[in-house]
Structures are given as structure tokens and as C-alpha cells.
Chains A and B, each alone.
Chain A
Amino acid sequence: QKEVEQNSGPLSVPEGAIASLNCTYSDRGSQSFFWYRQYSGKSPELIMFIYSNGDKEDGRFTAQLNKASQYVSLLIRDSQPSDSATYLCAVIPSGGSNYKLTFGKGTLLTVNP
């Protein structure tokens, strides 16, 4: 079974610090990787996607992908209390079903003022 693993947390960081969220996946052939943010009681909201090895930056967010090690991470710089949410890592695995997002269970991030 193709799996996506995340530390459930909670991960607690002070305001202004860098929050580092990690995700590993079992399907070596996976091609597409997504980070979603989910506030309590709300639906997931796309933060970033990454397809290629290396770093991808968007404002305070940086996604890092290492296919050889099968991990993808999300860095949040200058963390704000409004960043407090559950962060979901999602992967589209290899094979014919290249549309089924496989989600991790999420990491709860708390940014303390």
C-alpha cells in the first residue's frame, strides 16, 4: 500500500521562528507533491506544489523535495500565529491512477505569540 507519513505533532514554534514540516512517502515513483493547510473545521487549502527535486519558494513558504530519499518538507519562515493549522502532505503516486491524492494524517502546527 502506498503510504504518506507525517509526524502528527503538535509542533510548537515561537512567532518569528522557522517551522519545519516533514513528510516521507513509500512510492518511489511518485511524481507530484502537495502541501495543504487545514484550519480547524475548514477544508484543505493548497499552499504549494512541487514536482522537481530541490527547493521551491513562494513568499514565506519553501517546499523541498528529495526523491532519492523520498521525503518532502515545508519550511515556513517568520512564522505567524495565523499559520497555526494542520498541514497535510499529499502525493500522487505512480501508476495508472495519477489523480488519486494520497494524504498523510497531517502535522498540527502551533505558532505561539
Chain B
Amino acid sequence: GAGVSQSPSNKVTEKGKDVELRCDPISGHTALYWYRQSLGQGLEFLIYFQGNSAPDKSGLPSDRFSAERTGGSVSTLTIQRTQQEDSAVYLCASSLQVSGETQYFGPGTRLLVL
């Protein structure tokens, strides 16, 4: 079946602009995760959604970052007033349920802030 999809695949923006990144999880997966991978760094957890529960936003690096998940499916990660240090690959993953289930990653969005 179809895997996790993300769009856009690449995004170049100017410092100070807002960007929206989209994630479409695997059908039937109730858990959705956002990670960030910066050059030379490991993957960094950003935010987690599970069903209708309140999201775990503990990994968001600043209040410029926000995310929502509508209808328990598609998620949007928004970065306001982008900074150069926001340049990274933003990866979305989904899993069937929580509690240690395997997470499947999308292809990522490469964000470059000039």
C-alpha cells in the first residue's frame, strides 16, 4: 500500500517568511510524528499526535513552530518567521498505534532558509 507522503519535497524560503509542510500518513495509522534532521545531526523529535488526544509538543524548539492534524489524518507543520537555523530535513512518520510500534517515515521535506 501507499506509504507516508510529504509535500513539498523541497522548499526554499527567505528569512522571516512562514512555511507550511504537509504530511499524509499511512491509511489506518493512528499515530503521527514529526522529526527534524539537521546536517550532521541525529533525528530530533518535534511533535506527536495520537487519535483525538492532545498532542505532545515537547520537542518543538520554539513558539514559531506549530502543528495540527485535521480529522485524524493529514498533518501540517507550520514554521513562522523562519530563521536560517530552521534549515533542515523535516521528516514525518506514522505508526499503527503507540507503545513502541514501528514508525514508518515519509521522504521528508528539505527546507532551506536563505
Contact = CB atoms under 8 A, between A and B. Distances in A.
Interface string B25-46: 0000001010100001111010
Given A43-B91, A44-B91, A92-B100, A100 B105 contact: no
Nearest to B58: A97
A82 interface: no
B14 interface: no
Contact of A100 (B41, B42, B48): B48
A87 interface: no
Interface string A25-47: 00000011010100000111110
A90 B93 CA distance: 14
8 contacts: A36-B105, A44-B105, A88-B42, A90-B43, A99-B95, A99-B100, A101-B35, A102-B45
A61 interface: no
B103 interface: yes
Contacts of B31: 99
A71 interface: no
Interface string A1-36: 000100000000000000000000000000110101
B42 A104 contact: yes
Interface of A: 4, 31-32, 34, 36, 42-46, 49, 51, 88, 90, 92, 97-106
Contact of A34 (B59, B98, B102): B102
Chain B, interface size: which category?
A: 20 to 34
Nearest to B95: A99
B7 to A, nearest CB: 14
A105 B40 CA distance: 8
B105 A99 contact: no
Nearest to A33: B100
Nearest to A90: B43
B48 A51 contact: no
B109 to A, nearest CB: 10
